[in-house]
C-alpha cells in the first residue's frame, strides 16, 4: 500500500504539474489533524513519511519528568530510559505513538485535505504560468458571449475580453482563433482571472515582434506607437544599424509582413514612419502622408508644442478624418501640434523655401525642390489613402492630384496654365483676348 501511495503521488506530479514534496507535506499535515482527534491535542505531534519507502510514523515530543501529570506531554524517567538510555531529567524525547488503527483513520481524514491541497496547487501553478505571460500576446479560442463580454479559452483556463477592450465593430464566432494581449492576471480562490485586450497599443508591438525577425532580435526598435483600435495605428521605428531600413524591414517584401498583421487586426491601417531624435523631423514624419512645408518647435522644452505649415491642398490630409491623423501624430510625438495652411498664415506667408526657413526656422525639402514624403506611405509611385489605391495619382474632396501637382477648376497643358479665361505662357500673361504676340506682328 505504501508503494502504491508513492506511485500515486508520482502520477499526480506528472499530470497536474504539482511537486511531489508538496503533496507529501500536505499528507503529513492531514495526519497531524487526524491525531488531534485521537489524542485530544496535537501540539506536540509530528508525522514523518519516508520519501523512499512510503512508511509513516507518528511521534510525540514528551518531557522527561519524575512524576507524570499529563501523559500526552510528559514521560517518566523510567519509561524514557527503556527507549532512550541517555535521556536525563528535563530532556525532550520523540516517542512513537502510532495508533494500531491509524491507517484507516488517516485515510478518512487525509482525503479531503489532500484533494483541497491539489486544487490549491493547481490554481497556483496556473496563476504562475499565466502571470508570466502578462504583457504578451497569446492565441485563444472564442467560447461564447457573456453579456457584452467574450469568454476566450487559452488552453488550461478561460480569459475575459471585456466590452471596453474590444474593437468597435468586431464580431466573434464560436471556435474562432484570435490573438489577444494579456492585460492582467489575478489570483482568486476560483483560479486565475485573466483580462485580455484587442485594443491595447502593445498588441501591435507584440505582433510585429512575432512577425518581424529584425524587431524580435533588436536590430529594429519600435520607438513609439499611437493607436485608434480598428481604424489606424502610427508606429515609429529606428535602427542603430545604418545598413538596415527599419521601415522596409517592418513592411516586408511586397508588404507581406505588415499585411499579415493588418489581416490579424481585421483591416486596421498601419502607418510606419522613421523615428528621429530631432522633434521637427519626427513631427513631419508623423504627419505623413501629408506634405509639410515647415515645422517650428517651441524653444521651451516643457511646453512641447509645435506649429506646422502645410500647403492649402494638404490641410485636410494633414488633419485627417475627424482630426485622426493630427491626433495620432500628437500622441506619437508627445507634442501639441498646431497645423495651419499657407493661406491661414496670411500676410506673413512667403513663397520661397529660403523665406520659410528664415521665418519658421526649418524647412524640409528634397534637392529637386519637391517636398519630402515618407516612404512608408509611398512605394514605387503607389499611394494608399483611406483604403483606396492610386498609382501616381489620388483624389481627395473632389480635387485631383497627380505627380504632386494640384488641379481644381484649372489645368495645365503643354506647359501652359489656364484658369477662368486667363492664359500664361513662358511667364507672359494674357487675359480674355489673349493678346497673342504673333497676332500683333501680323497686324
- pLDDT per residue as tens digits for the range 183-228: 999 998 888 999 999 999 999 999 999 999 999 999 999 999 999 9
The C-alpha cell at 129 is: 504560468
Among 405, 75, 379, 349, which residue's Cα sits nearest to residue 247? 379
What's the confidence (pLDDT) of residue 89?
84
Q: Is 302 helix (H, G, I), strand (E, B) or coil?
A: coil
Which residues of the chain register pLDDT less than 70? 1-2, 37-42, 99-110, 346-443
Q: Is the dihedral of CA 378, 379, 385, 389 positive or negative?
A: positive
Which DSSP category does 237 fall into?
E
- CB burial readout 76-103, b (16+ within 10 A) else e: ebebbeeeeeebeeeeebebebeeeebe
Give Cα separations from 37 to 26, 34, 43, 95 (angstroms).
18, 6, 12, 18
What's the confidence (pLDDT) of residue 97?
77
- Rounded distance between C-alpha atoms, residue 406 and residue 301, angstroms: 37
What's the confidence (pLDDT) of residue 105?
63
The phi-psi region of residue 252 (left if phi > 0; otherwise alpha if psi is between -120 and 50; otherwise beta) is left
Q: pLDDT (tens digit, 9 = 90+) per residue, 119-132?
A: 888 888 899 999 99
Among 410, 406, 379, which residue's Cα sits nearest to residue 395? 406
What's the confidence (pLDDT) of residue 350?
45
How many Cα neighbours within 13 Å face the side chain of 66?
0
Is-contact 196 159, C-beta < 8 A?
A: yes
Is-contact 290 352, C-beta < 8 A?
A: no
What's the confidence (pLDDT) of residue 344?
85
What's the confidence (pLDDT) of residue 13?
84
Sheet containing strand 428-431, edge to edge, reads: 411-413, 416-419, 422-425, 428-431
**What pTM was estimated for this model as a whole?**
0.64
Which domains can be identified in the chain, with CATH numbers?
Answer: 2-129 (3.30.1480.10), 133-197 (2.40.50.140), 276-388 (3.30.300.20), 390-431 (no CATH)
Which DSSP category does 173 fall into?
-
The C-alpha cell at 254 is: 511586397
Among 317, 308, 310, 294, which residue's Cα sits nearest to residue 336? 308
DSSP character string of 196-225: EESS-HHHHHHHHHHH-HHHHTTSEEEEEE
How many Cα neighbours within 13 Å face the side chain of 391?
1
Give Cα separations from 281 to 96, 306, 307 (angstroms).
82, 11, 13
Among 378, 365, 212, 190, which residue's Cα sits nearest to residue 292? 365
The C-alpha cell at 137 is: 500576446
- Rounded distance between C-alpha atoms, residue 94 and residue 84, angstroms: 9
Find cell 488531534 and name the residue: 36
* Cβ partners under 8 Å of residue 387, min gap 6: 267, 269
DSSP character string of 248-273: HHHH-GGGHHHHHHHHHTTS-EEEEE
Q: Is the dihedral of CA 259, 261, 265, 269 positive or negative?
A: negative
Amino acid at each position: 500500500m505504501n508503494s502504491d501511495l508513492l506511485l500515486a503521488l508520482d502520477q499526480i506530479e506528472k499530470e497536474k504539474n504539482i511537486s511531489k514534496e508538496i503533496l507529501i507535506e500536505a499528507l503529513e499535515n492531514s495526519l497531524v489533524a487526524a491525531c488531534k482527534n485521537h489524542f485530544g491535542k496535537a501540539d506536540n505531534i509530528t508525522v514523518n513519511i519516508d520519501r523512499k519507502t512510503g512508511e509513516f510514523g507518528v511521534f510525540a515530543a514528551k518531557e522527561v519528568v519524575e512524576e507524570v501529570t499529563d501523559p500526552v506531554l510528559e514521560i517518566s524517567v523510567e519509561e524514557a530510559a527503556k527507549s532512550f538510555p541517555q535521556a536525563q531529567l528535563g530532556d525532550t524525547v520523540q516517542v512513537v505513538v502510532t495508533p494500531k488503527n491509524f491507517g484507516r483513520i488517516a485515510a478518512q481524514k487525509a482525503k479531503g485535505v489532500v484533494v483541497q491541497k491539489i486544487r490549491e496547487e493547481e490554481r497556483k501553478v496556473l496563476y504562475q504560468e499565466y502571470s508570466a505571460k502578462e504583457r504578451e500576446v497569446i492565441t485563444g479560442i472564442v467560447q461564447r458571449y457573456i453579456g457584452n463580454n467574450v469568454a476566450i479559452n487559452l488552453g488550461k483556463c478561460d480569459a475575459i475580453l471585456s466590452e471596453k477592450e474590444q474593437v468597435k465593430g468586431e464580431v466573434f464566432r464560436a471556435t474562432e482563433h484570435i490573438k489577444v494581449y494579456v492585460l492582467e492576471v489575478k489570483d482568486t480562490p476560483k483560479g486565475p482571472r485573466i483580462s485580455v485586450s484587442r485594443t491595447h497599443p502593445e498588441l501591435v508591438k507584440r505582433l510585429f515582434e512575432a512577425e518581424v525577425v529584425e524587431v524580435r532580435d533588436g536590430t529594429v526598435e519600435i520607438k513609439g506607437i499611437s493607436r485608434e483600435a480598428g481604424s489606424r495605428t502610427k508606429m515609429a521605428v529606428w535602427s542603430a544599424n545604418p545598413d538596415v531600413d527599419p521601415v522596409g524591414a517592418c513592411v516586408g517584401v511586397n508588404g507581406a509582413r505588415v499585411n499579415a498583421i493588418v489581416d490579424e487586426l481585421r483591416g486596421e491601417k498601419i502607418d510606419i514612419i522613421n523615428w528621429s531624435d530631432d522633434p521637427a523631423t519626427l513631427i513631419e514624419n508623423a504627419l505623413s502622408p501629408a506634405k509639410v512645408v515647415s515645422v517650428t518647435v517651441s524653444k521651451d522644452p516643457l511646453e512641447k508644442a509645435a506649429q506646422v505649415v502645410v500647403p492649402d491642398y494638404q490641410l485636410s490630409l494633414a488633419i485627417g478624418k475627424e482630426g485622426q491623423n493630427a491626433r495620432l501624430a500628437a500622441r506619437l510625438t508627445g507634442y501639441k501640434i498646431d497645423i495651419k495652411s499657407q493661406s491661414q498664415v496670411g500676410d506673413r506667408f512667403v513663397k520661397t523655401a529660403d523665406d520659410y526657413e528664415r521665418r519658421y526656422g526649418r524647412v524640409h525639402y528634397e534637392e529637386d525642390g519637391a517636398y519630402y514624403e515618407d516612404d512608408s506611405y509611398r512605394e514605387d509611385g503607389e499611394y494608399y489613402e483611406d483604403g483606396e489605391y492610386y498609382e501616381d495619382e489620388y483624389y481627395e474632396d473632389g480635387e485631383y492630384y497627380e505627380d504632386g501637382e494640384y488641379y481644381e477648376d484649372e489645368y495645365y497643358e503643354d506647359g501652359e496654365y489656364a484658369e477662368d479665361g486667363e492664359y500664361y505662357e513662358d511667364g507672359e500673361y494674357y487675359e480674355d483676348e489673349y493678346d497673342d504676340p504673333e497676332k500683333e506682328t501680323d497686324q
